[in-house]
Every structure is written in structure tokens, then in C-alpha cells.
Chains A and B, each alone.
Chain A
């Protein structure tokens, strides 16, 4: 099946610093990628949708200047958490979908801890 990877799998950073998370589709072209955030014992909340070569569309309540998303190629999207604060600590998961298909394949997630 389709494989999506994320890097890093976990990261610890100091408050005020920026962190970049990579999401890659390994064996298919991801025309659309999605970024989700998941707090402990909660569901996945969609943060933004990005189409290759276009600006990301953010969900209501998600600050686009704080969560920078780049989808410059058909296999790579990045999420940068800028000026991270402890409340940004969460499990960030990306998913990818190819054009014309409904199925979204998820990455393994990145655990972010902001001290």
C-alpha cells in the first residue's frame, strides 16, 4: 500500500524556537496533503489542506502565520511551528492523497514537546 513517512518522529524544543516537520509520500504522488493535530485521548483535528504548488488552506482557528505549511513538490510537505509555546505540544500527523482518489494515507506522526 501507499506509504507516508514523517520526520522527525519526536522533537523537544525550547519555548520561542521554531520546529520543522517533514511529511513525505514514498511511493505515490501526493497532490494533496493534510496536516492534523491530536491531543492526548482526543480525535484528529484538521489544521490545513495543501495542494502541490498552492498556498495551504487553513481551518478556522488555526493561525497561518504560526503554522507555516509548504507543499513544494508532489512528495514533500513541511509544517513549521514558529515561536513554539508549551500549548503547541501535541501529536502532529500528516496524510496524503493522490489526484482523483478518495483514500488518505497517514504518516506515523510527530510528537512535539515544547519546554
Chain B
């Protein structure tokens, strides 16, 4: 079935450094890739998304890249701040119009 893998599972960075989270997907027909941030006890919040006809998208300190051939996509957060600490999920919309989530990355930004 459809699968989304995500690495690393935990990531600790110093404030001001960059953080990179990588994901792979299995369904080559996937065409939409959102990223969500989830704080403890809350629902996921969409932070950025990218469609398959675009290779890169940036929104202030956050950027996402997509390699359709390799079925890879990545999240880049620059100039990290303590409030960036949360669990981040990548996701992919499959050919069955379902959004499948990766297992998540727990990001800690150390002041």
C-alpha cells in the first residue's frame, strides 16, 4: 500500500541553526505534499505545501523541495527559534485522494 517514510525521528539543533527533515513516498502518482507542525495536545497545523509541478517553494524561514524522480521531498527550516520546537509531519496525497502521513520528526531547538 501507500507509504510515507520520514527521517530523522528526532532532531536537536541549536537556536539559529538550520533543520532539515527528509521524506520519501511510495505512490508515484502522488501529486500534493503538505507539511504539518503539531504542538503537544493540539491538532496539526499546515505550515507549507508543494504540488508535483513545482520543485521548490519557500515561505520566509521555511522551504520545501521535491524530487519527483526519486520520490523524495524535504523540509528546510532556517534560523531556527525555540518556538519551532514541535513534531513535524510530512504527508503525501495518493492516487486514491487520501493524505498519508509520515511517522513524524520531533524537533527540539535549544536556546
- Contact surface of A with B, Cβ cutoff 8 Å: 4, 6, 34, 42-46, 49, 93, 102-109, 111
Contact = CB atoms under 8 A, between A and B. Distances in A.
Interface of B is mostly: strand
A107 B5 CA distance: 24
B43 A108 contact: yes
Contact of B46 (A49, A93, A103): A103
27 contacts: A4-B43, A34-B99, A43-B102, A43-B103, A43-B104, A44-B44, A44-B101, A45-B101, A46-B99, A46-B100, A93-B43, A93-B44, A102-B32, A102-B34, A102-B49, A102-B93, A103-B46, A103-B49, A104-B34, A104-B46, A104-B99, A106-B36, A106-B43, A106-B46, A108-B42, A108-B43, A109-B42
Contacts of B49: 102-103
A62 B98 CA distance: 15
Given A46-B98, A49-B98, 4 more contacts: A4-B43, A42-B103, A104-B99, A108-B43
Interface residues of B, number: 21
A43 B101 contact: yes
Contacts of B43: 4, 6, 93, 106-109
Contacts of A104: 34, 46, 99
